[in-house]
Amino acid sequence: MLIKMDQIKNLKITTLVENLAFPKYLGQWGLSFLLELVDAQDKLRKIILDTGGNKKAFKHNVRALKVDISDVDSVVLSHGHWDHTAATVEVAKAAGGGLKIFAHPHTFLPRFFTDKRGKKRKMGVPKGERLDEIEMEGGKISLTSEPTEVAPGVWTTGQIKRITAFEHALPLAEGEKLSIFIDGMELDDQILDDQALWMNVENVGPVVITGCAHAGSINTLFQVQKLGRFKEIFGLAGGTHLVKRSDEYLWKTVGEFKKIGLKLISPCHCTGFKATSILWQTFPEAFVLNYSGRAIKPGERPKTVVF
């Protein structure tokens, strides 16, 4: 699928929730971004990617940031894990009905993690944030595995093709297992619902926003390159799931980032300290530390923050 890629006029990315936190905001194991932009038809838009893993922290940070989410146009869910889907109903309530929610068909299915002792725990969308509960608050849900235009010039990747030889969804120890129930059958979960947001920013270039990049950061960027016919990608912000990866895996990822020509790298959430440190040292000019409360405007260097 090739897409006629219209440019958006500008973009501001605000991290609503993330593991790290600037003072007065709350950190959590989870992720949520607010995108404020002027779309390809000159209309102001607010789009949220993911809604974090703790609704109290999400609501606290929204208040502390003095962000108005009553006029959010849409929510995109990158995948159906609890730490990315804990406050979707709250956004739908704030929007007062008619909020559009975009997700893959697997997003709201039951899923579990089984540890080495055989103990299962739920990994999916938490209770109170599921399909019927979102719809009760007026949310309009679109489930598709295809790339979808969320607003003029703003697209999801859809289900991402996994073409690299080294990337895989999650580093599991021996005896651990991810499972998903599809049509009542328990299957190995490859997290096929993983998707990202992307857009071409005028006078900047293509920018990709990820949730966890379970499909692989490089697979994700390759898909955007193909869909938009881009030679290079300007920016990547979001989770990369480089935590607990081998050194070989990390350095292969770094090598591909170099080839793709990234000028902005703002990893967070599931990236892990080791990988974050490597990315900072390898890309000192492109690297932007992310945390709850951080605002990034691609093409502008963020101000140095003193804690």
For the chain, give every domain's residue range: 7-164+191-296
Rounded to an integer, what distance in angstroms lies between the CA atom of residue 232 and that of residue 257?
A: 10
- Among residues 235, 242, 255, 248, the alpha carbon closest in space to that of 300 is found at 235
Residue 235 makes CB contacts below 8 A (sequence gap 6+) with: 204, 205, 206, 207, 208, 262, 263, 264, 265, 266, 298
20 by Cβ neighbours in 10 Å (0-12 / 13-18 / 19+) ranks as middle
pLDDT in tens, 160-171: 999 999 999 999
For residue 220, report the phi and psi dihedrals to the nearest 5 degrees: -65, -45
Which residue reads 């975009």 in tokens?
102
Asked whether the predicted pLDDT for residue 55 surpasses 80, the reply is yes
Homologous superfamily (CATH) for 7-164+191-296: Ribonuclease Z/Hydroxyacylglutathione hydrolase-like (3.60.15.10)
pLDDT of residue 307: 47
The dihedral region occupied by 232, where left means phi > 0, alpha psi between -120 and 50, and beta the remainder, is: beta
Asked whether the predicted pLDDT for residue 4 surpasses 90, the reply is no
pLDDT in tens, 23-41: 899 999 999 999 999 999 9
pLDDT-derived band at 95 (thresholds 50, 70, 90) equals very high
The dihedral region occupied by 203, where left means phi > 0, alpha psi between -120 and 50, and beta the remainder, is: left
pLDDT (mean) for 128-150: 97
pLDDT of residue 306: 46
